[in-house]
């Protein structure tokens, strides 16, 4: 049997895979799909709170409206708008994958970039059209 030299436990690298691993765009876009799904929930919760406050009282609506129209509300709604667009494009991308198309790495990466760039462009267009 070969004589294997073993390093002491405190001399072993904790995560050797992190030294050689490069995150793939397809993995990042998959994670972003899950994050944006939850991000949409935050925007919906703020909008529902604003509507419920409007139905409750003028004083309560003033508080909710103050939050919704503040920089924080603008940030949440803009982030949610981007999340909706990204989630839509990622869903279309997954329909393409479900059809058995675009599974090769170059095409999958192009579709990933299309989701990211397309969602940013559509968010900017939407903001410009609403104002």
pTM, whole model, 2 decimals?
A: 0.80
Give the integer Cα–Cα distance in Å for 121 and 109: 18
Model pLDDT for residues 38-93, shown as the tens digit of each residue: 989 999 999 999 999 999 999 999 999 999 999 999 999 999 999 999 999 999 99
Domains and CATH numbers, the chain: 24-130 (1.20.1300.10)
Q: What is the mean pLDDT of residues 27-41?
A: 92
Q: pLDDT value at position 19?
A: 63
Angle ∠(120,24,126) on CA atoms, nearest 5: 10
Whether the per-residue pLDDT at 12 is higher than 70: the answer is no
Q: pLDDT value at position 23?
A: 81
Q: What's the farthest any 2 CA atoms get from each other in the chain? A: 82
Q: pLDDT value at position 2?
A: 58
Mean pLDDT over the full length of the chain: 89
* Structural contact between residues 78 and 93, judged by C-beta atoms closer than 8 angstroms: no
- pLDDT confidence tier of residue 1, bands split at 50, 70 and 90: low
Q: pLDDT value at position 113?
A: 96
Pick from 46, 64, 66: nearest CA to 55:
64
């Amino acid at each position: 049997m070969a004589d294997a030299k073993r390093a002491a436990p405190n001399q072993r690298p904790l995560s050797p895979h992190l030294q050689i691993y490069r995150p793939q765009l397809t993995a990042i876009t998959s994670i972003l799909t899950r994050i944006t799904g939850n991000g949409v929930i935050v925007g919906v919760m703020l909008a529902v709170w604003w509507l419920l406050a409007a139905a409750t009282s003028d004083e309560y609506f003033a508080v909710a409206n103050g939050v919704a129209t503040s920089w924080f509300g603008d940030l949440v709604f803009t982030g949610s708008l981007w999340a909706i667009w990204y989630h839509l494009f990622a869903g279309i991308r997954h329909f393409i994958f479900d059809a058995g198309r675009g599974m090769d790495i170059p095409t999958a990466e192009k579709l990933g970039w299309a989701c990211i760039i397309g969602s940013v462009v559509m968010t900017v267009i939407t903001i410009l059209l609403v104002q």
